[in-house]
Amino acid sequence: MILEIYKDAFGYALKDGSTLLKLGVLSLFSFLIIPFIFLLGYEYRIIKTATEGMINGNETLPEFNNYTTMFKDGLKVLAVSIIYVLISVVIFLLLFFIGLTTNMESIIVLAFIALIILTIISLIFSALAVTHMAANNGSINAAFHIRELKDIMQSIGVLKLVGSYFGIFLISAVISFVVYVFVFAVVGILGFAVSYVYVDIVPAFIWALSIIADLVVALVVWPYLNIFSCRSYGLIYNLRE
C-alpha cells in the first residue's frame, strides 16, 4: 500500500507543469520568508486535497488563487512546525544548562542525543499534525490534540507511519543527491572540455553553469519533491481505520 502511495504521489506531481513552475518560483525565493509562507500555504492545499481524495484518484493540483487564505494557511503550518520543534529545543537547552552548571559531561552528551531523537519525533508529529489540521478544516487546535494524533498513529500503525515518513525522506534525499551529482558531473565535463580552448574563462564558465544548475534544481526538483511529499502525507493519513 505504501508503495502504491509513493507511485501515486510521483505521478500526481507531474500533472501540471505550470503549477510546478509556479511552486518552483516560490521555492527559489523562499529565503525572503514571504514566498516561503506562500509555499507552505500551497503545500497545505496539496495535503488537504490528498486527505479528501484516494490513491490513484482523479484529483488535480490545487489552483494558485485565494492568496490571502493561502498566506494564512502558510502561517498556521509555520506556527505548528515551529512549536513542535521548539519542544525539542527547550528540552535540549534544559539538559545542556544542567550539564554545564553541574559540570557533568555525561548530561551534556545526553542533551545532544536527546536533541537528535526528539527532533526526529517532533518532525514526525509535526507532519502528522499539519495533515490532521488540514483534515479538520484548518483548525489549528487539531494540530495539538496529542491524544488524537496518538490514536491516528496507532490506527495506521506506528512502524508503518514512521517507516513511510522515513521512506519519503530517503526518496527525496536520494533523488536530490543523484540530480546534484549528475549536474555537477556535467558541469565538470563541460568545464574540462572548455579548458582546452578557453583556459582564461574556465572559472567563470563553471561558476555560471553551477548557478544555472542550482536554478534548475530549485525550480524543478525541489518543487516536485515537495508535491510528492505532501501528497504522500495526505494519503498515508487516509490509511487510518
Q: Work out the angle at residue 217's Cα, subtended by the Cα atoms of residues 216 and 218, and round it to the nearest 5 degrees.
A: 95
Tell me: pLDDT of 168 over 60: yes
- The predicted model gives 105-133 an average pLDDT of 85
pLDDT of residue 177: 84
Instruction: Kindly state the DSSP code that residue 64 receives in the 8-state scheme.
Output: S
Instruction: Kindly state the DSSP code that residue 143 receives in the 8-state scheme.
Output: G
Residue found by looking up cell 539538559 in the block: 95
Q: What is the mean pLDDT of the chain?
A: 84
Report the distance separating Cα 30 and Cα 157, nearest Å.
34
Residues 6+ apart with CB under 8 A from 43: 77, 226, 227, 230
Per residue in 189-204, pLDDT tens?
666 655 555 545 555 6
- The predicted model gives 94-103 an average pLDDT of 74
Determine which of 52-56, 58-62, 115-119, 179-183 has the lowest per-residue pLDDT on average: 179-183
Looking at per-residue pLDDT, the higher value among 6 and 104 belongs to 6
pLDDT of residue 18: 81
Tell me: pLDDT of 75 over 70: yes
- The predicted model gives 196-225 an average pLDDT of 69
pTM over 0.75? The answer is yes
Report the distance separating Cα 94 and Cα 130, nearest Å.
27
- The predicted model gives 4-30 an average pLDDT of 86
pLDDT of residue 98: 76
Looking at per-residue pLDDT, the higher value among 159 and 104 belongs to 159
For CA atoms 34, 36, 39, 40, the dihedral sign is: negative
pLDDT of residue 31: 83
pLDDT-derived band at 102, boundaries 50, 70, 90: confident
127 within 8 A of 143, measured Cβ to Cβ: no
Tell me: pLDDT of 101 over 60: yes
